[in-house]
Amino acid sequence: MTQLRDASILVVGASGGLGRDIARLLADQGARLILSGRDRGSLETLDLPGTIVTADLAVPADIVALVAGAIAVDGRLDGIVNAAGVVAFGAATEVTDPTLERLFAVNTLAPIRLLRAARAALAESAAAGRSPFVVTLSGVVSESPTANLAAYSASKAALAAFDKAAGRELRRSGIRILDARPGHTETGLSGHPIAGTAPRLPAGHAPDLVARRIVAAIMADEADLPSTAFSVPAVSPSAEGADTDG
């Protein structure tokens, strides 16, 4: 069972619809948060305890600086939640190069670069007897690529494949990778795509329930959350054996 109290956790995309809820739940469990996004003002309005470190995930140097800044806060890093992402709609044969580059830079390459930059610190956390983890959100499109979301689906499917292979490699180091693949969630992401226009979508999952399921999985040492894991209401983290003292 992973204990979150006093764990030093970097939440990337903390000002987004899902990142915000995950960060609040982690704070409720006593985690020490490093909150990241592109806009400091948006992060400040979260009114959450933690240290703010801004970064543009499409810029490799920003990712290196982000991880270094996160480690500097507590002298260690025990977990990363990558809830950042961008979406684009449109026909597969009409996607532009700038759209492709942004999709893969943020959705695929950034999580890979984050793990690469944080690996040593996470391994040190494991050696110290903690239970380091990395959470990614490849989403249901990585399981079921969707028409008019071909490039977006590809960027997420590539991330899911990376997670599966990297998780096997890092298991012996005590580092756990947890990939979550919820279906459409009402985060507002589809309302501001980097290209195209969202079609009429059915009602999605409630972000707070998705966040609760993810945090419960972190604490329960789960290593995979397929789309079917989000078909029922999540159990409250406090009921999953969380440390609720204080």
pLDDT, residue 113, reads 98
The closest alpha carbon to 2, from 213, 240, 198, 191, belongs to 240
Domain ranges, ordered by start, for the chain: 8-240
* Mean pLDDT, each 10-residue run in order, the chain (246 residues): 96 94 97 97 94 97 98 98 96 97 98 98 98 97 95 98 98 97 88 89 88 97 95 46 30
- Topology of the domain comprising 8-240: Rossmann fold (3.40.50)
- Rounded to two decimals, the pTM is 0.91
The residues, any chain, with a CB within 8 Å of residue 50's CB and separated by 6 or more, are 11, 23, 27, 32, 33, 34, 35
Q: Helix or strand or coil: residue 171?
A: helix
